[in-house]
């Protein structure tokens, strides 16, 4: 059993040295903390990325737009996390999965070792099925699929992301099906000028990207291209085949304002990726350190082509109309098995918005039509939702309320079967925020949400019809506090969720079914603290306690925890500027021991904890930047553990060795 890994021995001396050095530096510069505060609150020119403080403030408030009604972050009547482009760039993450896993409260892990397809967990729904309880959108386009394939975030270039907004325990009115845990909204932005980025590392890691854009008064056009490749960590076959991977993304987008108050937008993206990921190890092999043992592999290929078109029309000073349409063609091919599935997703989101000084409201209609062609059968899931929401601001008070009605239709057709099912679901949300002052607030929120089962849930592992199962529904209450005044950005939230008919795979019967009643309670805390002008820290801590109250299966699992959920998750970063142009960043991600995914009985006991320490150094000169990063500095051994019905869990090693990369970026 691996003992919990912490900071005390590793970082105390380093932190003390950095703090002492920073104090001496500050004293020599003759600056007080008050003087530094004034500097940090002053707006920075966008053309220069040189700064002595990473956690700078600007004169403009951060705006939360994931809920489709714009609100200030401190005044939002729900729990949220906001990450800007600058914070994303400073992390030097290789992709969006790494950023979410190391810099936010979200947990991600590769599906059976596949780095391009990773599962997401938030609020204690588990790494097994948590991704199905979280809606992920990019510029309003849902990435959630109709089957059990996780959202394909690898198709989103990290360089193109302007902001990441995480809405926790809310969002079901605006986003509907699957928003039990919350919403991750990724916002991208068109390029202006030119941006070049490249890095390389051990094991043949190579990456290069180029973004170009032109912006005029009434027209803009931009394009992006990248290429990623990795030669692999180890041999996965006796012929010398390695667990290699590659991906390529291309995006072109344009906006046009033909008349005042009308903006048209269009974009087209192309993504391809291929990976060889190793089969699992036995638990004994993992414990004996045989991480490089050849066990065979699976080769998988993905492609995704997305067309987005839309229009926004400002009717007058109070009303505006927005309409967006998305069409995605996706291919998932298991080359090793000769199987191929093609997907056709069409969706739209149309909304009418009203806004004045005290009242912000919207009504909208959303549709999603997803079809999967598996060769011998076709499966579809169609969603149509109507929703309305209003936020009323009165002095220090913000009141919010919203409702949604959504209909879901399923169809399955094969040579021998033709099945159809319909269901109607409702969501509602009530929230309140009280601003003590411009930087401090309390909030509370109650949210009713649901998840209509994915189409794969109706079939067992052998492919025979499993039977239609119930949608799951959740009631979540949040109580939180925000304090956002230099040098602190502090947030904390208590939450409790009652869940009916939580969907899961029963490893005893090998069928998808429902847990009749489960509970999730927890505590979230985040703090960004600019300790000195050249020293800052970022902390994200989450405590989650889950419980199966009634399994609906005779009490076999009653009182057990949801597997794949770490009760404690801690992410800490320490940043230091020894001189103005240099930033050093040390970060730790720790997840406490959890039961193996799908091990509802707890028969294996809790698995080992997860711990990764990263360190990076960045030198910035005007619009040029060079950097180096070491991942898993202390060479910790980490893995994903899954219950496939064996005497011991199957093990997929992840982040199990030290790696490094060096890179540069330039803006023109």
With respect to residue 371, please indicate whether it lies within any of the assigned structural domains.
Answer: yes
With respect to residue 279, please indicate whether it lies within any of the assigned structural domains.
Answer: no
Mean pLDDT, contiguous 10-residue spans, the chain (668 residues):
40 37 35 29 31 40 63 88 88 87 89 84 89 92 87 85 93 95 91 92 95 93 94 91 94 95 95 93 90 88 95 95 95 88 93 93 95 84 96 94 96 85 95 95 97 84 73 97 92 97 82 92 94 92 96 91 95 94 94 93 93 95 94 93 89 92 94
> 132 in helix, strand or coil?
helix
Which among 493, 566, 526, 495 has a CA at the least distance from the CA of 104? 526
Query: CATH number of the domain that 372 lies in?
Result: 2.40.170.20
With respect to residue 101, please indicate whether it lies within any of the assigned structural domains.
Answer: yes
Q: What is the pLDDT of residue 114?
A: 82
- The Cα–Cα gap between 608 and 333 comes to 33
Within 8 A by CB and 6+ apart from 113, the residues are 243, 277, 278, 280, 640, 652, 653, 654
Q: What is the pLDDT of residue 338?
A: 86
With respect to residue 235, please indicate whether it lies within any of the assigned structural domains.
Answer: no
Burial class for 93, CB neighbours closer than 10 Å (0-12, 13-18, 19+):
buried
- The Cα–Cα gap between 91 and 70 comes to 27
With respect to residue 221, please indicate whether it lies within any of the assigned structural domains.
Answer: no
- The Cα–Cα gap between 469 and 421 comes to 10
Q: What is the pLDDT of residue 24?
A: 34
Judge contact between 168 and 495, C-beta under 8 A.
Answer: yes
What are the counts of helices (DSSP H) followed by strands (DSSP E) for the chain? 7, 33
Report the domain count for the chain. Answer: 1
Residues spanned by the domain of 531: 8-189+319-667
Judge contact between 478 and 79, C-beta under 8 A.
Answer: yes
Q: What is the pLDDT of residue 64?
A: 62
With respect to residue 242, please indicate whether it lies within any of the assigned structural domains.
Answer: no
Q: What is the pLDDT of residue 372?
A: 87
Q: What is the pLDDT of residue 44?
A: 33
With respect to residue 237, please indicate whether it lies within any of the assigned structural domains.
Answer: no
Annotate 466-495 with b (16+ C-beta within 10 A) or e (fewer).
beebbbbbbebbbebebbbebbebbbbbbb
Q: What is the pLDDT of residue 563?
A: 93
With respect to residue 209, please indicate whether it lies within any of the assigned structural domains.
Answer: no
DSSP state letters, 341-409: EEEEEEEEEEEEEEE-SSEEEEEEEEEEEEEEE-SSEEEEEEEEEEEEEEEEEETTEEEEEEEEEEEEE
């Amino acid at each position: 059993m691996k003992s919990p890994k912490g900071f005390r021995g590793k970082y105390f001396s380093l932190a003390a040295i950095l703090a002492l050095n920073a104090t001496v530096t500050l004293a020599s510069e003759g600056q007080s903390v008050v003087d530094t505060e004034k500097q940090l609150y002053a707006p920075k020119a966008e053309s220069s990325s040189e700064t002595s403080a990473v956690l700078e403030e600007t004169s403009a408030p951060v705006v939360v737009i994931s809920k489709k009604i714009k609100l200030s972050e401190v005044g939002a009547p729900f729990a949220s996390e906001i990450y800007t482009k600058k914070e994303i760039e400073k992390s030097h993450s290789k992709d969006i999965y790494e950023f979410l896993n190391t810099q936010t409260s979200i947990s991600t892990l590769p599906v059976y070792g596949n780095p391009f397809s990773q599962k997401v967990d938030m609020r204690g729904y588990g790494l097994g099925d948590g991704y199905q309880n979280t809606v992920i959108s990019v510029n309003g386009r849902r990435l959630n699929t109709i089957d059990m394939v996780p959202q394909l975030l690898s198709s989103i270039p990290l360089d193109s992301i302007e902001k990441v907004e995480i809405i926790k325990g809310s969002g079901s009115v605006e986003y509907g099906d699957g928003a039990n845990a919350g919403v991750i909204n990724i916002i991208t932005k068109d390029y202006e000028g030119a941006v070049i980025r490249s890095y390389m590392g051990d094991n043949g890691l190579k990456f290069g990207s180029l973004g170009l854009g032109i912006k005029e008064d009434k027209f803009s056009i931009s394009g992006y291209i990248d290429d990623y490749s990795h030669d692999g960590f180890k041999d996965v076959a006796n012929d010398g085949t390695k667990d290699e991977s590659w991906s390529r993304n291309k995006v072109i987008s344009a906006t046009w304002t033909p008349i005042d108050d009308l903006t048209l937008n269009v974009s087209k993206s192309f993504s391809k990726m291929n990976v060889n990921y190793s089969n699992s190890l036995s638990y004994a092999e993992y414990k004996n350190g045989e991480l490089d043992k050849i066990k065979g592999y699976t080769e998988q290929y993905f492609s995704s082509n997305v067309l987005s078109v839309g229009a926004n029309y400002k009717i007058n000073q109070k009303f505006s109309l927005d309409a967006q349409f998305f069409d995605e063609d996706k291919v998932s091919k298991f080359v090793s098995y000769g199987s191929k599935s093609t997907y056709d997703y069409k969706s739209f989101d149309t909304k009418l918005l009203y806004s004045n000084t005290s009242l912000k409201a919207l009504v909208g209609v959303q549709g999603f039509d997803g079809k999967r062609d598996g060769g011998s059968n076709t499966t579809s899931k169609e969603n149509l939702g109507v929703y309305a929401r209003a936020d009323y601001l009165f002095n220090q008070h913000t009141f919010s309320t919203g409702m949604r009605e959504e209909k879901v239709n399923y169809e399955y057709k094969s040579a021998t079967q033709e099945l159809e099912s319909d269901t109607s679901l409702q969501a509602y949300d009530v929230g309140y925020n009280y601003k003590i002052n411009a930087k401090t607030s309390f909030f509370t929120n109650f949210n009713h949400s649901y998840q209509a089962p994915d189409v794969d849930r109706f079939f067992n592992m052998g492919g025979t019809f499993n039977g239609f199962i119930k949608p799951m529904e959740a009631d979540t209450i949040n109580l939180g506090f925000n304090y956002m005044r230099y040098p602190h950005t502090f947030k904390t939230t208590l939450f409790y969720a009652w869940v009916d008919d939580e969907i899961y795979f029963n490893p005893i019967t090998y069928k998808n079914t429902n847990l009749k009643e489960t509970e999730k309670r927890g505590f979230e805390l985040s703090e960004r603290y600019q300790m000195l002008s050249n020293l800052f820290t970022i902390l994200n801590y989450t405590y989650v306690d889950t419980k199966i109250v009634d399994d609906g299966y005779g009490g076999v699992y009653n009182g057990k925890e949801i597997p794949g959920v770490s009760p404690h998750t801690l992410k800490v970063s320490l940043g230091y500027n020894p001189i103005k142009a240099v930033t050093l960043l040390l970060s730790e991600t720790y997840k406490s021991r959890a039961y193996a995914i799908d091990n509802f009985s707890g028969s294996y006991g809790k698995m080992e904890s997860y711990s990764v320490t990263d360190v990076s150094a960045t030198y910035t000169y005007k619009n040029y930047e060079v950097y180096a990063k070491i991942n898993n500095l202390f060479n910790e051994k980490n893995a994903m553990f899954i219950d496939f019905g064996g005497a011991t869990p199957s093990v997929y090693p992840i982040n199990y060795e030290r790696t490094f990369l060096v890179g540069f970026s330039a803006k023109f």
